[in-house]
Amino acid sequence: MIHASGAAAKLQAAGGVRSLTFDAAQPLQLSNGENLAPLTLAFETYGALNVDRSNAVLVCHGLIGDQFVAGPNPVTGRPAWWPRIVGPGRPIDTNRFFVICSNVLGGSMGSTGPASPAADGQPFGLRFPQISIADIVRAQSMLVEALGIQNLFLVIGPEFGGMQALHWASAYPRRVFACGVVASAARQSAQNLAFAELARQAIMADADWRNGGYYAHGVRPARGAAIARAALSIASDAASEVRHRFETASAKERFSFAQSNEEARAGASHVERLDANSFLYLSRAMDGFDLAADFGGRLSNAFQDSQTRHGLFAFTSDWRYPPQETRSIARALIAAGAETASVEIPSAKGHEAYLADEPAFEAALTGFIDAAASARGLALQGGQ
């Protein structure tokens, strides 16, 4: 049992997946007014918490991601998803920081989600409550506190994770020393709403979806999920790459240029990696994110009196979360008087440039983190 701030949570480990479970005495209060209990959150940690508990970093994963940010996923066998950024000697240095990454509420890598058993022992399916980014963050806050950590040195994430980081900085300004927002936005663009809607419709149109009840039938909406994957895959490429794939594919393929064998495999492991119903719930939560709307339509109101240092990172060829989105966040933060470093990285790699070899991104992120660490009085790398 882990005890912290009066909360008791049961620690479990199965099949390489560690998790904390909060019982009915500590329900998660959802934005829609419902309570969710029991609540299990699967998580990984890397590095060691220092004595003052001041070096904790929370990494929030993207829509199709998991808690295995810096090490292989024992369930899918996939490698760490952000090894260039999190690890020994990396910008988020696990020799220096205590890194926590948890599978989001509604996910399917060990945290409570649509595939989890409801009170009747059967999977929730569509009985799972509607959730928001605020709910996902509130659950992360319960986990962090149960781990005995009150304040986070850094909360950071890409895309969906960047939205969570922004919400953390807005909802808990005193508990977040630094906030990193990577290839993300303060709300979904119409284009992203449209892509997500198509992905959801593709899943729901798959006969094997069974109105969300496919678990009981031993099937899964694999075709629909593969299209959903393709939707995100295509949209994550740089525009030039999409055209290139079309031009190279059109010669040999009749219609489809998105699903190379490699992607078909990726699609398949994506299906393993993210339950289709989880995709529906999480993408809907992402689509509903609109931080300005929560503050009377003025994004700067979300960051009044913020003491948090913000680092914003965008990639020039990212047309899903283009630099304009990041610039508008920067304007709002600066208007609110918040310390803000906004960086635009020249890249040809599209939205997923944040996963790629982009030395300028790593350099800027390292500079932002090191400056925040010395401001926080954390020892530099190597302990100097």
Contact flag: residue 198 with a second copy (CB under 8 A)? yes
Question: Each residue of 340-355: b (16+ CB within 10 Å) or e?
Answer: bbbbbbebebbbbbbb
Contact flag: residue 248 with a second copy (CB under 8 A)? no
* Binding residue count for a second copy, defined by CB under 8 A: 45
Handedness of CA 146, 151, 153, 159 (dihedral sign): positive
Contact flag: residue 108 with a second copy (CB under 8 A)? no
User: Hey, what long-range contacts does 256-260 have (CB within 8 A, 24 or more apart)?
Assistant: 258/230, 258/233, 258/234, 259/226, 259/230
Contact flag: residue 183 with a second copy (CB under 8 A)? no
Tokens 């009749």 correspond to 254
Contact flag: residue 252 with a second copy (CB under 8 A)? no
- Binding residue for a second copy (CB under 8 A) from 120, 255, 297, 377? 255
Binding to a second copy in span 125-164, by CB under 8 A: 126, 130
- Rounded CA separation 162/362 (Å): 16
Q: Least separation, in Å, of the C-beta of 301 and a second copy?
A: 19
Tokens 């630094």 correspond to 178
Q: Least separation, in Å, of the C-beta of 344 and a second copy?
A: 20
Which CB atom, from 131 or from 341, has the smaller least distance to a second copy?
A: 131
- Binding residue for a second copy (CB under 8 A) from 258, 329, 364, 378? 258
Which CB atom, from 30 or from 227, has the smaller least distance to a second copy?
A: 227
| Angle at alpha carbon of residue 18, lines to 21 and 373, rounded to 5° | 100
- Binding residue for a second copy (CB under 8 A) from 122, 250, 307, 374? 250
196 within 8 A of 283, measured Cβ to Cβ: yes
Of the CA atoms within 13 Å of residue 303, those in its CB half-sphere come to: 30
CA distances from 313 to 121, 222, 383 (A): 43, 34, 27
Contact flag: residue 284 with a second copy (CB under 8 A)? yes
- Binding residue for a second copy (CB under 8 A) from 2, 13, 216, 239? 239
Contact flag: residue 315 with a second copy (CB under 8 A)? no
Contact flag: residue 323 with a second copy (CB under 8 A)? no
- Residue-level length of the chain: 384
Which CB atom, from 238 or from 345, has the smaller least distance to a second copy?
A: 238
Handedness of CA 36, 37, 40, 41 (dihedral sign): positive
Which CB atom, from 44 or from 206, has the smaller least distance to a second copy?
A: 206
Tokens 């998790």 correspond to 19
Binding mask 13-32 for a second copy (x = CB under 8 A): --------------------
178 within 8 A of 369, measured Cβ to Cβ: yes
Q: Which residues bind a second copy (CB under 8 A)?
A: 126, 130, 189-191, 193-195, 197-198, 200-202, 204-207, 223-224, 226-227, 230-231, 234-235, 237-243, 246, 250, 254-259, 280, 284, 287-288, 319
